[in-house]
């Protein structure tokens, strides 16, 4: 089935540890995005990538890093520099040249203890 | 500045009653407008979208929305709510850029 797979769905980490969230897609979409969701704050853009080997910072990129070595994959690393990493993280994709509709994965919930 | 405002944080309706969720936007160019729905712990699913043409758009699950340029609004409506409609609803605006701007969401509860 075509879709977006995020893993793991739940992740617990100790403060000060880096963690990497996986996002894989087989929709053949060019653009990929990472959003952070906190209660009452909607979705905030962390990073996005429109093509392989290129990515741009979103509105809240501090403390996060990404890579885009393959079209299908866009992993997000939450570093120890992120001051409040506990959140729900959503990966999304978009077909290039399309009219802006995003397709979302099921999300990953990160809890830092 | 580009922004989306959903003034209602939480709404409760009775099953079978009508529903209207409000969305106001600020955008410098012709907007592309979206409504998404999210069940707890899940990703977002597109309900409907507006790009151009008829200002009343139909979506999935019996939802519709009307684009009113003069009011900078894109309110979501459903004539008769079902218990399964309980979820969080997000309005979003975008355009020629590749970024969507999301509102803070409206949490819908449905009373039996």
Answer whether A60 touches B (CB < 8 Å): no
Query: What's the pLDDT band for B97 if we cut at 50, 70, 90?
Result: low
Instruction: For residues B61 and A16, give the distance between their C-alpha atoms in angstroms, rounded to a whole number.
Output: 44
- Considering only CB atoms, which chain A residues are within 8 Å of B41? 88, 107, 109
Confidence at B1, pLDDT banded by 50, 70, 90? confident
pLDDT given at position B52:
84
Residue A101 or B106, more confident = B106
Q: What is the pLDDT of residues B30-60, one digit of tens each?
A: 789 999 999 988 999 999 999 888 899 999 9
For residue A76, which phi and psi values (nearest 5 degrees)? -115, 125
User: For A10-32, what is the mean pLDDT?
Assistant: 94
pLDDT in tens, A22-77: 999 999 999 999 999 998 888 999 999 999 999 999 999 999 999 999 999 999 99
Q: Give how far Cα A57 sits from Cα of A33, A44, A108, B108, Å.
A: 10, 12, 20, 32
Average pLDDT, chain B: 93
- As a whole number of angstroms, the distance between CA A32 and CA A49 comes to 5
- Looking at the complex, report in whole angstroms how far the Cα of residue A13 sits from the nearest Cα belonging to chain B: 19
Which chain B positions have a beta carbon within 8 Å of A30's beta carbon?
Answer: none
Whether residue B106 has pLDDT greater than 90: yes
Q: Which residue has the higher pLDDT, A99 or A42?
A: A42
Q: Which residues contact B84 (CB under 8 A, 6 or more apart)?
A: none
For residue B95, list chain A residues with Cβ-Cβ distance below 8 A: 100
**In this complex, do A50 and B46 lie within 8 Å of one another by their Cβ atoms?**
no
- A102 and B105 in contact by Cβ < 8 A? no
Q: Please, are residues B42 and A4 in contact by the beta-carbon 8 Å criterion?
A: no
Mutating which of A42, A46, A103 best tests the B interface, going by the most B Cβ atoms within 10 A?
Answer: A42
Does B43 touch chain A if contact means CB atoms closer than 8 Å?
yes
């Amino acid at each position: 089935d075509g879709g977006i797979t995020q893993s793991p769905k739940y992740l617990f980490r100790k403060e000060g540890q880096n963690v990497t969230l996986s996002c894989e897609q087989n929709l053949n979409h060019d653009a990929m995005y990472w959003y952070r969701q906190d209660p009452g704050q909607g979705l905030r853009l962390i990073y996005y990538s429109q093509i392989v080997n290129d990515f741009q910072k979103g509105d809240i990129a501090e403390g996060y890093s990404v890579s885009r070595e393959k079209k299908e994959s866009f992993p997000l690393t939450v570093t120890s520099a992120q001051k409040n990493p506990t959140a729900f993280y959503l990966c999304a994709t978009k077909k290039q040249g399309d009219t802006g509709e995003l397709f979302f994965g099921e999300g990953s919930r990160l809890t830092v203890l | 500045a580009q922004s989306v405002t959903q003034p209602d944080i939480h709404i409760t309706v009775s099953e079978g009653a009508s529903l209207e969720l409000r969305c106001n936007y600020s955008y410098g160019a012709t907007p592309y407008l979206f409504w998404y729905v999210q069940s707890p712990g899940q990703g977002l699913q597109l309900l409907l979208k507006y790009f151009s043409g008829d200002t009343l758009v139909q979506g999935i699950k019996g939802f519709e929305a009307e684009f009113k340029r003069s009011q900078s609004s894109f309110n979501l409506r459903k004539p008769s709510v079902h218990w399964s409609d309980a979820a969080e609803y997000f309005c979003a605006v975008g355009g020629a850029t590749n970024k969507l701007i999301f509102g803070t969401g409206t949490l819908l509860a449905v009373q039996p």
